[in-house]
Amino acid sequence: MKKLVFATNNSHKLEEVRALLREAGPEIEERFEILSLADIGCDVDIPETGMTFYDNALQKAEYVKVHYNLDCFADDSGLEVRALGMEPGVRSARYADDAGFTHNSDANMDKLLRNMTNIKERQAQFRAVIVLLMDGKRLEFEGVCRGEITRERSGSKGFGYDPVFVPEGHTVTFAEMAMEDKNVISHRGKAVRQLVKYLSTLE
């Protein structure tokens, strides 16, 4: 079985990715073991200082490659709100902290809803970029999920901005959907399915 590190300690992301691998079928699931940062004994909050999702994903993947010499992939993702000039973007996790250190989803959602109080145009999208460093190669996969920002929170599943995001063609927020249903349409689901498709082509 080939070990592949997913450079994250976000248990929601890890579960989403493992579920997508299971969904891809036993041939794939039995060939790859997905390890988290905790599984390889890495408890560092890897710096994300890039200007783009790609830069940050690459930074996280390279950290694992350099310090642990293991094949790995990393994702960076965030919410882009059209009326806010595509903010919070790469700053999504730390949006409410001007100094940029702490991640607090409640404070982030409060700030977002506050900043959008008088805004009628609610279009937004989640974007996820995955960088895979494997067998000496570097590959990139990307997924986007369009939707709208609600006026108040709804639902308790998921993480981050899920309670304030209704995906296009739906009437409930990500936080009111089962993980499997979110995975079908989510930005990370789309990017991970491309990654899994690539893995399934390998000998």
The footprint of ligand IMP (CB under 6 A) covers 10, 48, 75-79, 92-93, 103, 108, 126, 158-162, 174, 186, 188
> Does residue 71 carry a catalytic annotation?
no
CB of 161 to ligand IMP, least distance (A): 4
> Burial code of 127-149, b = ≥16 C-beta within 10 A, e = fewer?
bbbbbbbbeeeeeebbbebebbb
Burial of 152 (0-12, 13-18, 19+ CB in 10 A): exposed
Which of 15, 121 has the CB closer to ligand IMP? 15
Nearest residue (beta carbon) to ligand IMP: 160
> How far apart are alpha carbons 203 and 81 in whole angstroms?
41
What are the structure tokens assigned to 151, written together?
């006026």
- Considering the complex, state which of residue 35 and residue 164 has its C-beta at the smaller distance from ligand IMP: 164
Residue 203 CB, nearest approach to ligand IMP (Å) = 31
Beta carbon nearer to ligand IMP, 159 or 198: 159
C-alpha to C-alpha distance for 26 and 96, rounded to whole angstroms = 42
- Nearest Cα neighbor of 33 from 46, 14, 59 is 14
Marked catalytic residue, from 43, 76, 106, 162: 76
The residue (of 35 and 177) whose beta carbon lies closer to ligand IMP is: 177
Residues recognised as catalytic: 76
